[in-house]
Amino acid sequence: PATSLQDIIAHAKEYGFVFPSSEIYDGLQAVYDYGQNGVELKNNLKTLWWKAMTQLHDNVVGIDASIFMHPLTWKASGHVDSFNDPMIDNRDSKKRYRADQLIELKAESYENAGDVERGQALRNELGRLQSAEDMDGLRSLIITEGIKDPVSGTDNWTEVRQFNLMFSTQVGSLAEDASLIYLRPETAQGIFVNFLNVQKTGRMKIPFGIAQIGKAFRNEIVARQFTFRMREFEQMEMQFFVRPGTEMEWYERWRDARMKFHQAVGLPAEKLKFHNHEKLAHYANAAVDIEYQFPFGFREMEGIHSRTDFDLKAHQDLSRKKQQYFDNDVDPATGKPYGNYIPYVVETSVGADRLFLAVFCNAFTKETVGEGEDQKERTYLKLHPALAPVKVAVFPLVRKDGLPEKAQEIVKSLRSEFRVVYEERDAIGKRYTRQDLIGTPFCIAVDYQSLDDNTVTIRYRDTTEQIRVPISELKARIGQEVSM
Ligand code: ATP
């Protein structure tokens, strides 16, 4: 049977990956906490991304900018004026919805019922109205499609209004001094405003990139589908600065590099696809999403955008500080240096929480094992060993005769290298099962033979196969398997 999102959410909670925020107060909508295993998996993903972007490229460096930025940043970026979602209220239930999402759900229901053409036609119409910013048109479409509020069951809708997604708060202690400040809705602007700082202090030559991992906040109106759409989330973004005219070449290169990354972390090629944007945002001259097939369908996981000089130029205009680069490479056409220009930018932007969800969904495996009477179901997380929260579990077969001490010695010899846990309670079969459920790729069992010949068994999570190996070889063997 296909895995549902409900199975995923339940497993994530039960085994310490993701908890609803402030759960004892019944939770906070669209906010989640990562538990003891979730944080390890998420950190492993972030580390791999960081390494792929910075360490494996000569010309990409990282920064860590603040969540708070000068309010004019968001004026320049366009977020104050146009980071809006169209919303609509139902007068009977008093519930608020995103107009575009109501229409998308309707399109989805046509498609699920087999009428793909009608679903697609509806999506096209939605796209047209969105780009025309036609709020009345959106409302009419909701009415003519007969879309009803799932709570009240009525179609007593208000008009459609634009709603800004940025969270704001006050800085300063006294009310009169305090001024409005936003929580960043994307990490990218922290990179743009530091473009010259990094370029100058790092003596960077174009083309070069700046990478960053950090929190972003959006007041999503309809937040659903677990960590797919949250109000507080984490982005992993990279802005790559290029000479104008060369952006398409870099756009294609990064698009392909990013697809390879997702496959390298274990997402199967058939569950990934590119989705080209037909309608481009005002700042972009090319844009593509990498979509993953979540249990609720193919959805955006990462965006790759060619943003031209839109952001740097806007910051230059508003701050009155030149955002130019002097390129002393010689232009073969003129025989002279390219000189001063505002660089173009190719951006890659992936949500750490969406990547986490994709990897988690993909790893969640339910299998029927055994024959006849012995048949049972086995659940485990088939994570790439490099991503697993715990790499090795060490078990003494019994809690006596020096086996625990021997097992502890092994733990000590491995723990500086890998995340290792020791467990001696319960039958060994139960201990294997507990590790399967959190995706531990290797379990080491210490038995009486270990005391005689210094060998142990390693049990492999995916095959449940066990092999006997000398203790002296453990570090090298496991090291090989957990590297990527
Ligand atoms: P969507 O259309 O799904 O709202 P978006 O196109 O607004 O996403 P971008 O602004 O391009 O998203 O942000 C880049 C990436 O940040 C997305 O591909 C996604 O992985 C992640 N992201 C954006 N919004 C959220 C959110 N509310 N919760 C979790 N991740 C998010």
Q: How far is the CA of 223 from the centre of ligand 1 (A)?
A: 12
Is 390-482 in the same CATH topology as 5-71+186-361? no
Question: Regarding predicted confidence, which is higher, 373 or 444?
Answer: 444
Q: How far is the CA of 135 from the centre of ligand 1 (A)?
A: 22
C-alpha span between 338 and 289 (Å, rounded):
32
pLDDT at 130: 87
Q: How far is the CA of 195 from the centre of ligand 1 (A)?
A: 23
Q: Check whether 234 is labelled as a binding-site residue.
A: yes
Nearest CA owner, ligand 1 atom 4? 229
Cα-trace Rg, the chain: 26
Per-domain residue ranges of the chain: 5-71+186-361, 97-151, 390-482
Find the mean pLDDT for residues 172-201.
89
Residues contacting residue 54 through CB under 8 Å, at least 6 positions apart: 60, 61, 62, 211
Question: What does DSSP say about strands 286-294 and 297-308: parallel, antiparallel, or unpaired?
Answer: antiparallel
Q: Check whether 484 is labelled as a binding-site residue.
A: no
Nearest CA owner, ligand 1 atom 18? 302
Is the CB–ligand 1 distance for residue 307 below 6 Å?
no
Instruction: Give the lowest-confidence range in 177-181, 306-310, 368-372.
Output: 177-181
Whether residue 51 has pLDDT greater than 60: yes
Q: What is the pTM of this model?
A: 0.92
- 198 and 210 Cβ atoms separated by less than 8 Å: yes
Report the chain's mean pLDDT, rounded to a whole number: 94
Pocket mutation for ligand 1, best pick of 77, 235, 275, 291 (most atoms within 8 Å of C-beta):
235
Q: Check whether 218 is labelled as a binding-site residue.
A: yes
Pocket mutation for ligand 1, best pick of 255, 298, 300 (most atoms within 8 Å of C-beta):
300
Kindly report the CATH number that applies to the domain delimited by 5-71+186-361: 3.30.930.10
Q: pLDDT tens across 203-229, in order?
A: 999 999 999 999 999 999 877 799 999
Is the CB–ligand 1 distance for residue 308 below 6 Å?
no
pLDDT at 393: 98
Whether residue 312 has pLDDT greater than 90: yes
Q: Check whether 69 is labelled as a binding-site residue.
A: no
C-alpha span between 116 and 108 (Å, rounded):
9
Q: pLDDT tens across 391-411, in order?
A: 999 999 999 999 999 999 999
Q: Check whether 104 is labelled as a binding-site residue.
A: no
pLDDT at 206: 96
268's tokens: 């199967």
Is the CB–ligand 1 distance for residue 101 below 6 Å?
no
pLDDT at 221: 81
Residues contacting residue 191 through CB under 8 Å, at least 6 positions apart: 63, 65, 210, 212, 237, 239
CATH fold group of domain 390-482: Rossmann fold (3.40.50)
Q: pLDDT tens across 223-282, in order?
A: 779 999 999 999 999 999 999 999 999 999 999 999 999 999 999 999 999 999 877 777
Q: Does a cis peptide bond (omega within 30 degrees of 0) precede residue 207? A: yes
- 202 and 92 Cβ atoms separated by less than 8 Å: no
Whether residue 1 has pLDDT greater than 70: no
Q: pLDDT tens across 56-111, in order?
A: 998 999 999 999 999 999 999 999 998 998 999 999 999 999 999 899 999 999 99
Secondary element (H or E) of residue 120: helix 116-131
Nearest CA owner, ligand 1 atom 13? 349
